[in-house]
Amino acid sequence: MSEFTAIRKIYNYPGLKTSDYERICSSHEKVIISKGDFLLREGQIANEYFCLEEGLMRAYANSYEGNEVTTAFFSPGDIIIEVASLFLRIPTKENIQALTDCNCWKLSFSDFQELFQNINAFTEWGRTWMARVLFSTKQRSLSMITDSATDRYLALLREKPEILHYAPLKHVASYLGITDTSLSRIRKYISSK
């Protein structure tokens, strides 16, 4: 069972028993992704989600003016998912791409539903997980309002420092809501202190 350590950490929840974990873990399928590959592309309907064990990914949308805007970075221990597309069965507006080679564990929507309907503690885990995601998404819009670009950069540096070694500046900049030029200047300013 030790091969499932990463998955178990993601699904860690008080009510889940060992037998539940066995069932949950064995529903996941190991997937190897190469740098640059896509887990999801604009226009598709997501049919699964992925638990990220190793590597880094990013999600981005194309803005009205045609620029890529990074909407999320994923690091090990994150669930890579496009909730709207998976749960509402609508075509996604996001692209999810590997920044490095990655190991993931895939769970199909039908297997998810099966677990969600039959394991009570999994249902609770799901609601809890969703509440946490919603909370951090709200925090993100709040941060866009209350924090300066510099503060947002420093926060990302604290939370996902690995990202800054692997994602090009413009991806990070669009995630922070600024241009790559500005981010370059912010970095210069910070390192000068």
Residue 8 in contact with DNA, rule: CB under 7 A: no
**What is the DSSP secondary structure assignment for residue 12, as one 8-state letter?**
-
Applying CB under 8 A, what is the total number of residues that bind a second copy? 32
The letter for the amino acid at 8 is R
For a second copy, the closer CB: 3 or 151 = 151
For DNA, the closer CB: 85 or 95 = 95
Q: Report residue 181 as tokens.
A: 């030029």
**What is the DSSP secondary structure assignment for residue 178, as one 8-state letter?**
S
Among 123, 150, 179, 182, binds a second copy (CB under 8 A): 123
Strand order through the sheet with 102-108:
29-33, 102-108, 48-54, 79-80
Among 47, 131, 159, 181, binds a second copy (CB under 8 A): 131
| Beta strand extents in the chain (DSSP E only) | 29-33, 38-40, 48-54, 57-62, 68-74, 79-80, 94-98, 102-108
Give the one entry of a second copy, DNA, none that residue 61 binds, where binding means its C-beta sits below a cut-off of 5 to 8 angstroms depending on kind.
a second copy
Residue 109 in contact with a second copy, rule: CB under 8 A: no
Give the one entry of DNA, a second copy, none that residue 137 binds, where binding means its C-beta sits below a cut-off of 5 to 8 angstroms depending on kind.
a second copy
Task: Give, as ranges, the residues between 53 and 72 that touch a second copy (CB under 8 A).
Answer: 61, 63-65, 67, 69, 71
Strand order through the sheet with 57-62:
38-40, 94-98, 57-62, 68-74
Among 23, 93, 160, 170, binds DNA (CB under 7 A): 170
Q: Are 95 and 41 in contact (CB under 8 A)?
A: yes
Task: Give, as ranges, the residues between 136 and 155 that touch DNA (CB under 7 A).
Answer: 148-150
Residue 9 in contact with a second copy, rule: CB under 8 A: no
Give the one entry of a second copy, DNA, none that residue 157 binds, where binding means its C-beta sits below a cut-off of 5 to 8 angstroms depending on kind.
none
End-to-end CA distance of the chain: 48
Q: Is 31 helix (H, G, I), strand (E, B) or coil?
A: strand
